[in-house]
Amino acid sequence: MKGILGLLRARSARGRQEAGESAFFTTAFAGQGVDESQLIPWEARAAEVGAKRLPKSRGGKLLQSLWSKDRYMSHLDQSAIERVERFFEFATVQPNRDVIRQDEYGNFMVVLLTGTIAVDRLQPWGEQLRLAETRPGDILGEMSLLDSGIRFSSCTTLTECELAALNAEAMDEMMVEDPELAASLVALLARKLAQRLRVVSARLSDHQG
């Protein structure tokens, strides 16, 4: 995480004109020794689950409304949220679709805009554990996007859901075109992720106890 924030700060200091091309997020899995054929991008998952494109006018409005009320993401002012919108893809997904699967390599995250998604983890001894049922505004999959690791859990739509997806290519584009925004977004995602991991850790401890 320090490496990501350091690179973002360096790019911000040099300015947009000197930033050049970025491939930090798009090459991160290769740097971990993951073959490209193992990687599940958003485009492939969207096609697999039959996601339908959601107009940016609606998706952006939902994202702005949810993030303006979020404890962490509200640190992005309206201008910043409007700028970040264009890097997202917006989609509608039907119920009972696996948006994210445990133990796969995926270089995208999603923000739940409407609906409910179940977060489940298959334990090593074979038990299926429900970690959470998400609410609009919740972010899923950002851990793998940030650290290039395997997915910790599966995320399955329980209802029809509207989503905002952010992939590695868009993150790299943001780093080049708006490095200060990218740095702010990564920092806020890291804080939000840390808070969620504390909750999940407590949940797992209670279950094992």
Q: Please state the rounded mean pLDDT for residues 57-75.
A: 95
pLDDT in tens, 159-192: 999 999 999 999 999 999 999 999 999 999 999 8
| CATH superfamily of domain region 2-9+35-208 | Jelly Rolls (2.60.120.10)
pLDDT in tens, 143-160: 999 999 999 999 999 999
User: Would you state the pLDDT for residue 186?
Assistant: 95
List all residues 6 or more positions away from 89 whose beta carbon is below 8 Å from its beta carbon.
42, 46, 53, 164, 165, 166, 167, 170
pLDDT in tens, 98-114: 999 999 999 999 999 99
Q: How far is CA 166 from CA 5, 146, 148, 176, 205, in A?
A: 18, 12, 14, 16, 31
Residue whose C-alpha is closest to residue 42's, from 179, 187, 171, 178: 171
User: Would you state the pLDDT for residue 3?
Assistant: 47
106-140 burial by CB neighbour count: b if 16+ within 10 A, else e?
Answer: bbbbbbbbbbbbbbbbeeeeeeeeebbebebbbbb
User: Would you state the pLDDT for residue 197?
Assistant: 76
List all residues 6 or more positions away from 7 whose beta carbon is below 8 Å from its beta carbon.
24, 175
Residue whose pair of structure tokens reads 């054929």 in the numeric block: 37
pLDDT confidence bin for 206, thresholds 50/70/90 = low
Specify the higher pLDDT residue, 157 or 13: 157
User: Would you state the pLDDT for residue 199?
Assistant: 73
User: Would you state the pLDDT for residue 209?
Assistant: 55
List all residues 6 or more positions away from 44 whose beta carbon is below 8 Å from its beta carbon.
none
pLDDT over 80 at 200, yes or no: no
DSSP 8-class letter at 159: S
**pTM, entire model:** 0.86
pLDDT over 80 at 16, yes or no: no
User: Would you state the pLDDT for residue 90?
Assistant: 98
Find out whether 40 and 190 touch, Cβ atoms under 8 Å: no
List all residues 6 or more positions away from 115 whose beta carbon is below 8 Å from its beta carbon.
136, 157, 158, 159, 160, 161, 162
pLDDT confidence bin for 20, thresholds 50/70/90 = low
pLDDT over 90 at 83, yes or no: yes
| Two tokens, residue 19 | 């930033």
pLDDT over 50 at 60, yes or no: yes
User: Would you state the pLDDT for residue 207?
Assistant: 56
Find out whether 129 and 207 touch, Cβ atoms under 8 Å: yes
Specify the higher pLDDT residue, 77 or 1: 77
User: Would you state the pLDDT for residue 177?
Assistant: 96
What does the mean pLDDT of the chain come to?
88
